[in-house]
Amino acid sequence: MLGQRMNQQTRALSSLVKEMWDKLKLIYESRLEVKETKANILVHEYDMFKMSPVETISDMFTRLSKITNGLKALGKNYIDIEIVLKVLRSLPPA
């Protein structure tokens, strides 16, 4: 009798642990997808980056810094020379 009750409790606990594991896995996978989506959006913003005609250089650099900092937080780093070249290519024609 006692052994049977312990078996039932073990099965119930195993089922609960499996359910919790499945939920954690789903949450992790969802977060990974969100992270990848955010990175893709920021890479696109970086690739398409141009200075707006009504924007100051300071504002433009702040906007670019937000993009590159967001990418850095997601594991995508650009070296300084890449960012400098991006700024120079983003300036309007003289």
Q: Which residues, in sequence order, are CB contacts of 5 under 8 Å at separation 6+?
A: none
Residue 43's pLDDT is: 95
**DSSP characters over 32-79:** HHHHHHHHHHHHHHHHT----TT--HHHHHHHHHHHHHHHHHTT----
Q: How many residues does the chain have?
A: 94
The answer on pLDDT for 2 being more than 70 is no
Question: What is d(CA 68, CA 89) in angstroms, rounded to the nearest whole number?
Answer: 16
% of the chain beyond a pLDDT of 90: 54
- pLDDT tens profile 48-78: 999 999 999 999 999 999 999 999 999 899 9
pTM of the entire predicted model: 0.69
Q: Where are the domains of the chain?
A: 1-90
